[in-house]
Chain A
Amino acid sequence: MSQTTATDERTGRLRGTVAGLPRDLTGSQKLMVFVLSMALSGVANLVLEIIPDVTIGPVDVSVSYFVFVPLALVALLNPFWAALGAPIGEVIFVDLLMGDFSGLAEIEGIIQMFLALYIAGSLVRNPRNRLQIAIAAVTVVVIDKALSALVDLSKVWIGVEDAEFVEGLPESILLLEGIGYAVDILMSGVLFGVIPAIWLIPALHGRIEPLLGMRPRVPGEPIQGSAPRNAMFVAIAVALSVASFLFAFLEAWDIELGVFEPEWLDTYGPGFIWVGVGAAAIAFLVGVALARLARRNAGSEN
């Protein structure tokens, strides 16, 4: 720009406040972040879907997701809406369209991924700091995979507790989960997480935000829509995780218990189905509460 310091005298009456201070996003800006995150994560997953998976024995060494794509969005834009858009985009773009839709169990994945991305995005205070980005990339995979590994392990735990079972099974499951976890962190977290992200995020910083009419994230300024650091958030996160476990079990109780102890259903009766319904209710209530909270925050800041 040739003239940068031109002070223009405004003769009209100034309406509202002077801009420049970071303020909360407008409803449509949130929609924009959400839609963008949905579209990009959808494409990333679609590309991944077409690459065939490689499985060595029982250990899956494929890339579970292109972490760097949603990570770039949560690190640069509003983490809440970007983190919400990414897993929903995956479900809509890939799972529904490709017939990979597993019904209510999808909600487990959405909650886990949302939590992982939301927390990771809030960790990146300076999008040009490669260390912060690397930590955030690994955090996504650690949180997401830890939650699902916990689900897997507890499935076995429940299955083993009252079944006459093969010696050493828990150990081997633990070993397999451990190897799977390590492979995931290496492949998804580092190879397709840290390495692309430390290049992509600084490259996009300051370039993508103006396209959306937003201010780039500046170190030192509070991040809009970042995860609150208080007990309330931790409580909600834990509640969400528990709800996601229950969703996982809705699918899993049959797999584990059904296989090894078919008379299980007779023992507990079909009433156990209500556990699933309860899980759905919890997740729904938490979702409503979150939406309320977000709306109230938006209302109070405007």
Chain B
Amino acid sequence: MTAIIELDRLSFRYPGATRDSLRNVSLSIEEGDFVAVIGGNGSGKTTLCKTFNGLVPHYWVGEFAGEARVAGLDTYDSSVAELSATVGYVYQDFQNQLVRPRVRDEVEFGPMNFGMADFAARGAEAMAMLGIDHLADRFVWQLSGGQAHLTALASVLSMRPRIIVVDEPVAEVDPAGAHALYERLTQLNRDHGITVVVIEHHAEFISQYARSVILMDDGAPVWHLPVAEAAARADELAAHGIPAPQIVDACAAAEVPGAPRTVAEAATLLRDAGVSPSAASSLREDDAGERGIAAAPRPVVAASSLSHGYRTVGGDLMPVLHDVDLTIHAGDRVALVGGNGAGKSTLMRLLGGLQVPRGGTIVLDGVDTRSAPSARLADHAAYLFQRPEQMFLKDSVRADVLLHPAGRGRDDADALVDRVLDRVRLTEFADRDGRTLSGGQQRRATLAIGLAMSPALMLADEPTASLDVASRDSVIGMLDELSDTIAAAVVATHDMHLVAEWATRVVVLEHGRIVADLTPRALFADDALLAKARLVPPQIVALGRELGIDPLPLSVAQWREAVAPIRTEALA
């Protein structure tokens, strides 16, 4: 094997920055490798990857020292255009990468710009490789998130690159879509010999798909190791914000050595080691406790025979919700799940009074949503949009949090804001613009905005989307802590960790109908339902099922409890 990317003592500083973003990076990547670049926020992952196709230093013009050779070309002496024939780059916010109206135009755009006469053949080939030929004549705004991501990938594949860089592939697509994308990348790597570089936070994807791992810290690589060796350094990874996959944690908790890559491997390892945990002792009481709270519920929002639809571009009415009956009681933590287009966001908007239904009624905190303007309903329900930057309307987090309570003339507004900011641990960032915060901080800031509205009902659209594992866990923890200040919360989500660790009730929507309304544990035990709703349970739940534990562990903590008795027995 030969190295396709060689960096020698590379340093780079952005214009106006006080420090180098990359510092003396020496690195080589073999042709045909599948590399995961990991590291905390600000560790220089993205800057590193932008040196591969010459965006650094040709687009981002800063101080550049050292050498970078990609497929034999010195990047400093060549242009982005030349390098683009070798390196394809798929962005994290890939929607902004799509600049043409139709998928086919988009995929042919690159080859056409470079004046390649066979652009049509290249486009067709790229679409065929990713299995999206049937989308060729669609408009890009008609695509689902996963399809749009594949289109962005196809549009760089049509240049027949030898290297593909994908920045955080899992960030904005649902779990099933993320696995599908990784399968495609693996296929490109295996069958076409394309070198794949991904920037990734999720240990389970790294261990399952990557061949080698580069850990970045503070502008320089700490090490570059084969994936098995990298996975074995769980503590070091955790210290850099990459917690080990749940199955690795599970093995460690059961004191079984090894770093399994898949749930099946983990189950075999554990079975071979003779671990057969039974249910955690606390779980049955837990279930009883949940039922106890729900004994005398006050309805926070009640929807009856709800139906709604939107006009399509063609002018027809596309029904989104059919005859939905749903009552959310005080104390409920509801997760709305279901594939794209199942009607989750629509239901949330209706519940929050942002829109009114075409049929049926919604009574929110005692008020019929048809009878009050949406601005007044905002006192009863806080709706958190999916993209945090859409909620940052002012130039500081504090001003954003203050907007609602001050507007409603609350005397204690300032004190309330201080309290809320303290609660979400953002006091020290209160004077910064929300957009400058990290992903996890942005989510917490939107939670603070919602909390300061003192709502009875909190509605959050994908509150954990595009977060790394550590930030996601902190947001889940925060949601957990906040349950005492709001009567009920509803989240629409694809994140099964959030469902498993936070929700007390799961409402599964499909084609605008509620197909199930049950506890998370019951959901994860129902194979037919999981398949129908395109859900993938978290690894720890899958492992519990594989080993036949009942009731299922929903978190690693519950798993620890489940294996604890065995360990004591073994010790005794």
Contact = CB atoms under 8 A, between A and B. Distances in A.
A and B touch in the complex (CB under 8 A): yes
A162 interface: no
Nearest to B67: A12
A13 interface: yes
Contacts of B24: 8-12
B18 A1 contact: yes
For chain A, the bracket of interface size reads 20 to 34
B10 interface: yes
- Chain B CB within 10 A, most for which of A10, A210, A214: A10
Nearest to B394: A203
B433 interface: yes
A4 interface: yes
B76 interface: yes
Interface in A1-31: 1, 3-4, 6, 8-16, 18-20, 23, 26, 28
Contacts of B19: 1, 3-4, 6, 8
B319 interface: no
Interface residues of B, number: 28
A12 B66 contact: yes
A130 interface: no
Contacts of A213: 14-15, 59-60
A15 B9 contact: no
- Chain A CB within 10 A, most for which of B9, B16, B76: B16
Interface string B493-526: 0000000000000000000000000000000000
Nearest to B18: A4
B317 interface: no
A155 interface: no
A11 B57 contact: no
B62 A12 contact: no
A210 B432 CA distance: 15
A109 B23 CA distance: 50
B435 to A, nearest CB: 8
Given A15-B57, A26-B59, A213-B14, A8 B64 contact: no
Contacts of B23: 8, 10
B395 interface: yes
Given A26-B59, A214-B15, A12 B65 contact: yes
B61 A19 contact: yes
Nearest to B58: A26
Interface in A180-222: 203, 207, 210, 213-216
Contacts of A3: 19
B473 interface: no
A130 to B, nearest CB: 16
Given A4-B19, A12-B9, A207-B395, 14 more contacts: A10-B24, A10-B66, A12-B8, A12-B67, A13-B65, A13-B66, A14-B63, A14-B64, A15-B64, A15-B76, A16-B63, A23-B61, A28-B59, A203-B395
Ranked 9 nearest A-B pairs via Cβ: A12-B66, A12-B9, A12-B65, A10-B11, A14-B65, A10-B65, A11-B9, A19-B63, A15-B76
25 contacts: A1-B18, A1-B19, A6-B19, A8-B20, A10-B20, A10-B24, A10-B66, A12-B9, A12-B10, A12-B65, A13-B9, A13-B66, A14-B65, A15-B64, A19-B13, A19-B62, A19-B63, A20-B16, A23-B61, A26-B59, A26-B61, A213-B15, A213-B59, A213-B60, A214-B15
